[in-house]
Structures are given as C-alpha cells and as structure tokens.
C-alpha cells in the first residue's frame, strides 16, 4: 500500500499561509513508520482538511489505499487528530467512507481509499505499500 506525505511548496506569508503539496510514496511501512519517514524527508503524513486538499490528492491518486495523517490515540478521549502539529481535526470537514468510523475505540489509524474517502483501520501495524506524502 501507499502513504501520502505532505510538503510545504509555496511562499511563507505574513499570516500563516502555506501551500501544501502531496506525494505518494511506495514503501512497506506501518502508520508510525510512514509518519516518521514523512517527518524526516518531507513535512508529515498527508493532512486533508478541505475539498481543495481532496482535489490535490485526486490529481495524484493511486489505485490503492494509503495511510494519511489522521489518528485516534488510545490515551486520548477518543477524538481524532491530525499528525501535523498545531492542526485541529474539524468534524465538519471530514470525508469518512459510509459507516465510518465504525469502531473508534479500537480503530486508531486512517487509510485513504481509492475513492478518496477515509476508512478507519484497527491494524496500525499493517505494512501499507503506498504512502501519500504532504510536502
């Protein structure tokens, strides 16, 4: 499977104004390994907060599921958050697959499906082949 990394590609503005791009990485990595790779080599795992982000991913979409930077920590109050520090998860800006999240107590990581919807996954240790990278 894939993972998607995020990277900053635009100019730095006076008011927080970043232009993010995405890159799909083909590598056998679980969610944590994918995050570490993205943080070391790019910015972080992909953050998809609005339709503009979805459209950017759609332009580079692969035909396999991929890890994105959305996670539900076991130590938290069972709320979803983005891997990218300082970015809040806004419930209204979600793109869950039908019926998801279906078990937020045990499904902690999120896959980007080929139709660009999100699916929760119990097995964060599952080695996915592709990773969408936010650069």
Can you give the pLDDT of all 135 residues of the chain as single tens digits?
A: 567 666 654 444 444 445 677 888 888 888 989 999 999 988 888 887 777 777 777 766 667 788 889 888 766 566 788 888 887 787 777 888 898 888 756 778 888 888 888 888 767 877 765 566 665
Tell me how many domains the chain contains. Answer: 1
Q: What is the CATH number of the domain that holds 102?
A: 3.10.100.10
pTM of the model: 0.79
Domain hosting residue 39, numbered range: 2-134
Residue spans of beta strands (DSSP E) within the chain? 2-8, 20-29, 44-45, 66-71, 81-82, 109-112, 118-121, 128-134
């Amino acid at each position: 499977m894939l993972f998607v990394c995020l990277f900053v590609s635009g100019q730095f503005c006076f008011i927080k104004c970043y232009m993010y791009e995405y890159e799909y990485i083909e590598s056998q990595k679980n969610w944590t390994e994918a995050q570490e790779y993205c943080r070391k080599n790019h910015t972080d795992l992909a953050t998809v907060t609005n339709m503009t982000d979805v459209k950017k991913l759609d332009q580079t979409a692969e035909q396999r599921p991929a890890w994105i930077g959305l996670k539900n920590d076991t130590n938290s109050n069972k709320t979803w958050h983005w891997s990218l520090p300082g970015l809040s998860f806004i419930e209204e800006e979600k793109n869950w697959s039908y019926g998801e999240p279906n078990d937020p107590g045990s499904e902690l990581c999120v896959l980007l499906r080929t139709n660009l919807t999100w699916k929760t996954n119990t097995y964060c240790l599952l080695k996915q082949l592709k990773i969408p990278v936010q650069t």
